[in-house]
């Protein structure tokens, strides 16, 4: 374990905003948590993974960076493998490893930044797949009491970019291990999503070819956080009922939408932002990325408050145009 005082977090989160942690602790081994439980007030702790989905509006007192590493097979049969990964494993290295072993289920989630430990937090999703479909259980420790608990997928309350953990940040569950159930054969390739469907109409599909295609798509559309600080999609795609959808169609009949659960519809937030005239705009050091306006970028030197105020301006403008209030997907620490 390493403990530092007054550490700049600029290099530890992908918005690359200047913010300081009073105490910064790098946890290398699970056993080191005992020190945290015995010596620190849990309510002051902020758990950090790769920092690719956070905006620090205030200075955190104590940052715990979870670096536990390790991948091992828990169980397997002819068809499936139950695979454990420790929280600090870089997500895309883990996906690459699974694909190289011929284990299916995570390939559509290639090149998402961050760590294994954060993957259940917002039930990461992309290209028609959500991680909840592969999660067997999540092992976590309750920092307020030291109690350890296994959350099976059904206990995680997973929904669209959401989970029990995201809904209850004050409960301070530190996820130290996630166990995934992956296919060894009869892979259920998910290629129904837009560009994937076109790409694999005639080409052979495999775990590797899906991964390569997703990587290429993402690299062509999304900003590299090391070039332009960002946290991916800043807002969730709103889910609306049929009445609201019909209202939107009256405002603009070209509105795209996708069937969601319970007879509701998902409308791409990027489309709403673009139609509100906000695609590629820039105010000072902050803007919407020209190739994907759902991503707010720090063009350099932006403060967290500037980014937050810019996001509030987007929310307000979209409300005025469409009567829909966008919800922030990024975890705002305030
Ligand atoms: P952090 O940003 O460090 O933390 C996020 C939240 O999880 C915080 O509240 C933190 O306290 C909590 N947390 C982190 N680790 C733990 C732990 N071990 N135990 C308990 N709590 C923890 N997301 C998608 O869903 N799909 C995408 O396609 C996608 N694309 C992206 C593209 C780019 C360019 C970027 C910058 C982000 C993208 N994201 C995407 C968002 C982000 O990568 C994911 O949400 C990722 O899972 C965050 O992981 P992290 O380790 O960086 O978490
Ligand atoms: P896109 O393909 O341009 O699609 C725009 C939106 O339409 C997406 O938000 C997507 O919703 C929805 N969509 C498209 N085809 C769909 C289908 N067949 N069924 C249901 N919904 C469909 O999106 P993109 O910006 O290039 O991103 C590609 C994927 O990567 C998306 O899944 C996106 O969520 C993910 N991504 C996420 C983040 C993040 O930070 N959360 C950042 C970058 C990319 P969904 O978003 O629900 O898929």
With a 6 Å cutoff on the Cβ, whether 122 touches ligand 1 is: yes
User: How far does the centroid of ligand 2 lie from the alpha carbon of residue 223, in Å?
Assistant: 15
Protein residue closest via CA to atom 34 of ligand 1? 232
Average pLDDT estimate for 288-314: 97
Average pLDDT estimate for 22-50: 96
Reading the block at residue 23, the tokens are: 């105490």
Average pLDDT estimate for 253-263: 95
List, for residues 122-175, the tens digit of each pLDDT value.
999 999 999 999 999 999 999 999 999 999 999 999 999 999 999 999 999 999
Q: Does the pLDDT value for residue 261 go beyond 90?
A: no
pLDDT level of residue 194 (50, 70, 90 thresholds):
confident
Catalytic (active-site) positions: 161, 233, 329
Q: Does the pLDDT value for residue 34 go beyond 90?
A: yes
With a 6 Å cutoff on the Cβ, whether 258 touches ligand 2 is: yes
With a 6 Å cutoff on the Cβ, whether 141 touches ligand 1 is: no
The predicted pLDDT at position 150 comes to 98
H/E stretch holding 93: helix 91-101
Reading the block at residue 90, the tokens are: 């870089």
What single string gives the DSSP state of each residue in 255-295? ---EE-STT-EE--HHHHHHHTT-TT-EETTEEEETTEEEE
User: How far does the centroid of ligand 2 lie from the alpha carbon of residue 237, in Å?
Assistant: 9
With a 6 Å cutoff on the Cβ, whether 127 touches ligand 2 is: yes
Longest dimension (CA), the chain: 60
The predicted pLDDT at position 287 comes to 98
Cα dist. 186→4, 22, 78, 105, 107 in Å? 49, 50, 11, 11, 14
CB contact burial 22-43 (16+ within 10 A = b; e otherwise)? ebbbbbeebebbeebeeebebe
Q: Which ligand 1 atom sits nearest the alpha carbon of residue 223?
A: 34
Work out the percent of the chain whose per-residue pLDDT is above 70. Answer: 100
Protein residue closest via CA to atom 23 of ligand 1? 124
User: How far does the centroid of ligand 2 lie from the alpha carbon of residue 58, in Å?
Assistant: 30
pLDDT level of residue 252 (50, 70, 90 thresholds):
very high
Burial-class residue 128 by CB neighbours within 10 Å (0-12, 13-18, 19+).
middle
Pick the ligand that lies closest to the CA of residue 66: 1
How far is CA 153 from its chain centroid?
Answer: 17
Cα atoms in the 13 Å half-sphere on the side-chain side of 53: 24
Chain-wide mean pLDDT for the chain? 97
The predicted pLDDT at position 78 comes to 98
Q: Which ligand 2 atom sits nearest the alpha carbon of residue 234?
A: 40
Q: Does the pLDDT value for residue 191 go beyond 90?
A: yes
Q: Which ligand 2 atom sits nearest the alpha carbon of residue 161?
A: 41
Q: Which ligand 2 atom sits nearest the alpha carbon of residue 195?
A: 2
User: How far does the centroid of ligand 2 lie from the alpha carbon of residue 126, in Å?
Assistant: 6
Say which DSSP state 175 is in.
E
With a 6 Å cutoff on the Cβ, whether 222 touches ligand 2 is: yes
pLDDT level of residue 186 (50, 70, 90 thresholds):
very high
299: alpha, beta or left, given left = phi > 0 and alpha = psi -120 to 50? alpha
Cα dist. 151→127, 156, 159, 173, 185 in Å? 26, 6, 15, 11, 26
How far apart CA 116 and CA 147 sit, in angstroms, is: 21
């Amino acid at each position: 374990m390493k403990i530092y005082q007054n550490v700049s977090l600029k290099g530890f989160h992908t918005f690359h905003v200047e913010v300081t942690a009073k105490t910064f602790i790098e946890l290398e081994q699970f056993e080191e948590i005992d020190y945290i439980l015995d010596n620190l007030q849990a309510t002051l702790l902020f758990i950090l993974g790769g920092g690719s989905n956070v905006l620090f509006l205030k200075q955190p007192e104590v940052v715990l960076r979870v670096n536990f590493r390790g991948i091992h097979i828990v169980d397997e049969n002819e068809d499936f493998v139950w695979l454990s990964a420790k929280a600090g494993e870089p997500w895309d290295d883990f996906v690459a490893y699974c694909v190289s072993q011929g284990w299916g289920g995570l390939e559509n989630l290639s090149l998402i930044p961050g760590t294994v430990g954060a993957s259940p937090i917002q039930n990461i999703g992309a290209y028609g797949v959500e991680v909840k479909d592969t999660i067997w259980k999540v092992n976590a420790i309750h920092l307020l009491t030291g109690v350890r608990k296994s959350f099976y997928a059904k206990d995680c309350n997973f929904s669209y970019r959401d989970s029990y953990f995201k809904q209850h940040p004050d409960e301070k569950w530190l996820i130290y291990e996630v166990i995934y159930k992956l296919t060894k054969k009869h892979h259920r390739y998910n290629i129904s999503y837009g560009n994937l469907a076109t790409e694999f109409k005639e080409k052979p599909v495999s775990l590797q070819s899906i991964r390569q295609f997703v990587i290429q798509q993402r690299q062509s559309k999304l900003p590299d956080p090391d070039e332009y600080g960002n946290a991916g999609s800043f807002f969730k795609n709103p889910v609306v009922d049929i009445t609201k959808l019909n209202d939107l169609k009256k405002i603009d009949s070209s509105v795209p939408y996708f069937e969601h659960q319970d007879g509701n519809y998902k409308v791409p937030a990027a489309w709403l932002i673009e139609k509100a005239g906000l695609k590629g705009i820039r105010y000072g050091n902050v803007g919407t990325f020209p190739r994907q306006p759902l991503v707010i970028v720090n063009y350099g030197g932006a403060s967290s408050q500037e980014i937050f105020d810019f996001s509030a301006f987007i929310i307000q403008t979209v409300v005025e145009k469409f009567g829909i209030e966008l919800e922030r997907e990024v975890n705002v620490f305030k």
